[in-house]
Amino acid sequence: MNNDEIIRRMRNRIRRDILEERRDQGEELRKEVLEDLFREDLKNDREALRSDSPDSFKLPPMFTSYSMDGKRGYILEDLSTYARELVKIQQYYDIRQLIDDEEWLTDVTEGWGDDIINHDFNEGARLVHEIYENESFMYKHSDPRLWREIALASRFLDKIRVVRRLLDLRNRGLDMDSEPQPDGQNIEDRHLRIAWVLHRACIRALHYRSLSFGTRDFGFEQIKKILLLDTVFLAFEVNDHGFEPWDEQQNDDMFKFFVPMYAQVLTVLQNIGRDLMIERRTPANGVTYTYEQTVAYNIAPERFSPLLRSHFDPIGTQWRFYSDLWERSSNFETAHGAEHVEDHLINKRIVYGDERAQLIEALKDPDWIPANIADLPAISGDDLNPNGVSLILGKISEVNRLRQSYLVLRDWMKRRPWKQLYYVCDTKEGAGSEQIPHIAEFHDKLEALKVEYPMPPDEHIPTNRANMYSCLFPIHPLAITNLPDSMAGNACAICQDDFEESANQIIVVLHCNHILHYLCVRNYWDGTETRYGTKCPICRSRGKEMSLPDVAGIQVECLDVWDYERIHPLPAGVRGAEDLSIFSDTYKGLEGRNLNESYMYDLLVQDGYREKVNAEKTYVREPEVEMSVVRWARRKNNEQRRNLIAHLGQSVHSLDPGFKRPPKGRQGLNMAQRGPRVDPNFQPSAPIDSDSELERLEGQTADNENDDEEMEEDGDEEMGEDGDQEMGDGGEEMEVDP
C-alpha cells in the first residue's frame, strides 16, 4: 500500500472522528437545553396532578414514557396513573388496540357510542337505518340521492346526543367563575386541571426540534400516548355522562331548545320505516310478497320520493338548518385537520427525523458525495402521512373535539386564532331564502342569552351559558342579503373581494375585530413569510397572536421548524418572538450563505464536472451546508405534499365554492427553481480537513499499513455493504448515490 492510500485512509478516519465528535457534542448540548427548558414546567405539572389526591399516584402507571433526552418517567407516565381511575382495565386495553387500527385512524370519529341511537324499541327507524347501511340493496332498488335527507336526519340525531352530553350539568368545571390561567394552577376541578396538563404535553411535543433524538423516536411515541390518553379521557366522559339512563340526565335549559326537533325527526324516521313495511299492492292469482320484496317495492324512486315529502315537509326546515350548521363545521374541521394541528400548519410544527444525526451518519461514508437536489422526485399518495404522524395528529384533533374537558379549556375559552367564524348563506330569492328566518332566530336567541348571562367586564368565563351556546356552533350563519354593518359595503383586505359577493364562503373575525376571508388569512398564516404564529395581517402588532406556548404557559425547544430550525439552541436570553426576530436575521443570512455554497456545487454538476470534482476530492462541504440542503429539500417536499392534498380535494381550500383542484404535484424542480442565486464574491468554506492535518498525514509512512487495514475493516462493519444512504424526516427521504 503506497503512502497516498495510507494518507487517504487516515484522512477519512480523522474525518469520521470529527463528525462523531460533532454528533456527540450536539446531542449533549440538546440534552442540556431540554432539561433546562422543561425542568420548571414539568415540576408545575406534577404539582397540578398531585394537589388533590397525592395517594392516587402511588399506583403503578399504565405504560412507561420517556422524555426527549431518553429519561424514563416523563409526565405522560404520571397521567397514565390517573387513567387507571377513569376506565376499567379492559376498556383501556381495547382503546390501546384501537389506536393501532389504521381503519379507525382514517375514519372520521363523530362520537364515542353516545351518538348511536338504540333502535331496539324503534323498529321503523331501525329499518331505515339498515336500508341506508345496505348500499347494494339501496342502489339496486332506489335512488341514493333520495337517501341524502335520511342521512342528514340521522346525523342530526347523532349530533344532538353529543351536544346533550357536552351541556350536561354533571360535567366538571361548569361552575368556574374565573378565567383559567395558562399554567392551569387556578383550575379547581381536578379532572379539568389534569386535562390541561395533558394539553400542555401535546403543545410541548409540537415544538420539538424533531420528534426523534438521534435514532430514537421519543417524540413520536409521546404523540401516540397522547392520543391514547385523549381517547381514555373521552371514554370516561361518555361513561360518566352518557345518554342512558335517561332519568339520570341533568340537561341544561339550553338543550331543551333542541328536544322538540329531536323528537320530530326521530318520529319521522320511525313513521317512514313503518310505511316501508306496508304492502300496498293487491295480490294477484294468489301471489304473496315477502317482506324484502315489499320494502324493495316501496323504496322505488317514484314511491319513495313522495313518501319522504309527506313526512318531512310537515315538520319544517328548522332541524335541517341546524343540521347544516353542524355539518359545515364538521366538514371544516376535517378538511382543516388534513394539514393543521392546533390551528397551525403541521409542516411548521413537525419534523420527524433528527436530520442532523442522520446527516452526520451519512457523511461518515468516505465516498460521500454532496447531494444535488436540483431535481426532487414527485411524491405519491403514500407520502401524505409520513410515518403516520399526520394521521395520529388528525385523530387527536377529532377526539378532542368530542371531549368537554378539552372544549371548555380551548374552544370555549376562545383560545383559537379567531374570535368567530361565519358562513355566508346564499339567501337570495330562489337560492336559500327559506333560511332567513332561521338565521334571524339563531342570532336573536344568542343575543337573548347574552343579556340573561352577561360576561364579566374584562374577563372571559368559558362556562358562561351564552358563550357555551355560541361555541356549540363553531361556524355561525349569516344571510348574504342581510350582512352586519361591519361587513356590508366592505371588502377583504387581502383579496379585495366584497363580502357581499362572498356567498357560501367562510369569513373570519379576528380577536382584533378585523374581518377577512378565512381562506385568505389561512394562506397568509401558512405562508413561508409568516413566522411562528397567527398575527393579524392588517394591524400585526395590535392583533392578538395565539402563540401556542404562550397560551399553554410553557417553554418550548423550537418555536417554528419551517425556516428557523436550529442546529444549535438559541443564545441564552433569546426566548420571545421579538428577540427571535432579531436572531433570525443572522440565521437567515447563514442559511442563504450555505445554500449559495450548495448551489455552486450544483452548477459544477450541471456543467459536467461532477466526476472530476469527486475524483480529486477537492471539494468537501461542511455539515452546516449539508443541513441547509436537507432543510431546503424538506420544505420543497412539504410544498409538494400540500399540493397533492389539494389535488385530492382534502385540503381546507376545497370548502371554497370556486375551488379548482390543482394538477398533481410537480415532477421535480429544475435549476431555475433551485432558489438561491450565486453571489459572484462568494467564497466556499474550508473543507473539514484542515491544512495542518493534511501536512501531518503526509509525514506518515507505510509502517501504518496494518493499522489502516484494521480501520478499513471497522469502517466496513459500521457502514454495511449497502452503499445507498437515506436521510430526511419520516417520509421525506433524499436518496444519495455514493
| Pick from 61, 396, 385: nearest CA to 198 | 396
Q: How confident is the model over 243-250, as a mean pLDDT?
A: 76
Query: Quick one: pLDDT at residue 274?
Result: 93
pLDDT tens, residue by residue, 362-387: 777 776 666 555 445 555 555 666 66
Q: Of 237, 296, 244, 247, which is closest to residue 121 (Cα–Cα)?
A: 244
Strands 475-479 and 420-425: parallel
CA distances from 481 to 56, 236, 240, 430, 438 (A): 58, 45, 44, 12, 14
Q: What are the residues facing 475 on neighbouring strands?
A: 421
Among the listed residues 375, 377, 369, 354, the one whose alpha carbon sits nearest the alpha carbon of residue 626: 369
Which three cell numbers, joined as nine digits, stand for 76? Answer: 405522560
- Mind listing the pLDDT tens digit for each residue in 322-371? 999 999 999 999 999 989 999 998 888 888 888 888 888 877 777 666 65
Rounded mean pLDDT, 621-650 = 79
Query: Could you tell me if 81 and 234 are in contact, meaning their C-beta atoms sit under 8 angstroms apart?
Result: no
Mean of pLDDT over the chain: 78
Question: 3-class SS at 498?
Answer: strand
Cell of 231: 381517547
pLDDT of residue 558: 82
Show Cβ contacts of residue 524 under 8 Å, excluding neighbours closer than 6 positions. Answer: 494, 530, 537
Q: Which one-letter amino acid corresponds to residue 52?
A: D
Helix (H) or strand (E) holding 718: helix 705-719
725-729 vs 475-479, strand pairing mode = unpaired
Instruction: Round to whole Å and give the CA distance between 572 and 577.
Output: 14
The answer to whether 15 and 23 have CB atoms below 8 angstroms apart is: no
Instruction: Choose among 157, 169, 163, 168: nearest CA to 267.
Output: 157
What tens digit of pLDDT does each residue of 8-64 get?
Answer: 677 777 777 877 888 888 888 889 888 888 999 999 999 888 876 666 666 788 999
**Mean pLDDT within 395-419:** 92
Supply the pLDDT for residue 326: 94
SS3 379: coil
Give all strands of the β-sheet with 515-517 in edge-to-edge order. 475-479, 420-425, 506-509, 515-517
> Which residue's entry shows cell 442532523?
356
What distance in Å separates the CA atoms of residue 52 and residue 36, rounded to the nearest whole number? 27
Q: Decide if 374 contacts 674 (C-beta within 8 A).
A: yes
Which region holds residue 351: left if phi is over 0, alpha if psi is between -120 and 50, else beta? beta
**pLDDT at residue 88 greater than cutoff 50:** yes
Give the residue-averaged pLDDT of 410-432.
89
Amino acid at 680: P
What pLDDT is attached to residue 267?
A: 94
Pairing of strands 420-425, 340-341: unpaired
Dump strand ranges (E) for 662-730.
725-729
Helix axes 190-205, 218-240, angle to 10 degrees: 150
Whether the per-residue pLDDT at 188 is higher than 90: the answer is no
The predicted structure's pLDDT at residue 78: 92
* Dihedral sign, Cα of residue 710, residue 711, residue 717, residue 721: negative
All 3 cell numbers of residue 701?
Answer: 509512512
- The Cα–Cα gap between 302 and 128 comes to 17
Tell me: pLDDT of 273 over 60: yes
Check residue 380 and give its pLDDT. 58
Most confident of 167-171, 436-440, 551-555, 556-560: 436-440
Q: Give the closest residue to 84 by CA, choosing from 241, 242, 199, 233.
A: 233
Average pLDDT (638-650) is 83
pLDDT for res 705: 41
pLDDT at residue 17 in the model = 82
What's residue 24's pLDDT?
Answer: 87
**Residue 548 in 3-state DSSP?**
helix
> What's the average model confidence in pLDDT over 282-290?
80
Nearest to 407 by CA among 162, 161, 105: 162
Cα–Cα dist 245/552, whole Å: 37
Residue 50 burial class via C-beta count within 10 angstroms: exposed 0-12, middle 13-18, buried 19 and up: middle
Nearest to 342 by CA among 176, 508, 207: 207
Which among 330, 336, 661, 347 is positioned nearest to 519, based on CA atoms?
A: 336
The arithmetic mean of pLDDT across residues 98-120, rounded, is: 81
pLDDT at 734 over 50: no
Question: Can you give the pLDDT at residue 286?
Answer: 74
Q: What is the pLDDT of residue 285?
A: 74
**Highest mean pLDDT (candidates 23-32, 220-229, 695-704):** 220-229
- Cα(179)–Cα(631) distance, integer angstroms: 40
Amino acid at 653: H
Q: What is the DSSP letter of 463?
A: T
Identify the residue with better confidence: 650 or 528.
Answer: 650
Average pLDDT over residues 518-533: 81
- Is the per-residue pLDDT at 584 higher than 60? no
510 or 693: which carries more pLDDT confidence?
Answer: 510
d(CA 539, CA 530): 14
**Mean pLDDT, to the nearest integer, of 403-425?**
92
CA 626 to chain centre: 29
Cβ pair 139, 117 in contact under 8 A: no
Q: Is 301 helix (H, G, I), strand (E, B) or coil?
A: helix
Helix axes 190-205, 3-50, angle to 10 degrees: 160
Whether residue 333 contacts residue 682, with contact meaning beta carbons closer than 8 Å, is answered with no
Q: What is the mean pLDDT of residues 253-270?
A: 91
Residue 172 pLDDT > 80 = no
Q: Whole-angstrom Cα distance, residue 369 to residue 601?
A: 11
Inter-residue contact 161 to 111 (CB < 8 Å) = yes
Position 563 scores a pLDDT of: 45
Residue type, 47: E
* pLDDT value for 670: 34
More confident residue, 5 or 673: 5
What is the Rg, in whole angstroms, of the alpha carbon atoms belonging to the chain?
Answer: 31
Least confident of 241-250, 293-302, 374-383: 374-383
User: Does the pLDDT of residue 179 top 60, yes or no?
Assistant: yes
**Four-CA torsion 73, 77, 79, 85, nearest 10 degrees:** -130
CA angle, residues 158, 432, 159, in degrees to nearest 5:
10
Pairs from 73-79 (Cβ < 8 Å, separation ≥ 24): 74/222, 75/42, 75/45, 75/46, 75/197, 75/201, 76/201, 76/222, 76/225, 76/226, 76/229, 78/45, 78/46, 78/49, 79/49, 79/194, 79/197, 79/198, 79/201, 79/229
CA distance 173 to 166: 12
On the question of pLDDT at 614 being above 60, the answer is no
What is the helix (H) or strand (E) element at residue 581, kind and residue range?
helix 577-606
For the chain, list the domains and their CATH numbers.
33-251+319-352+387-407 (no CATH), 420-545 (3.30.40.10)
Residue 315 has a pLDDT of: 95
Cross-strand pairs, 506? 423
Instruction: Give Cα 329 distance to the centre of its chain.
Output: 16
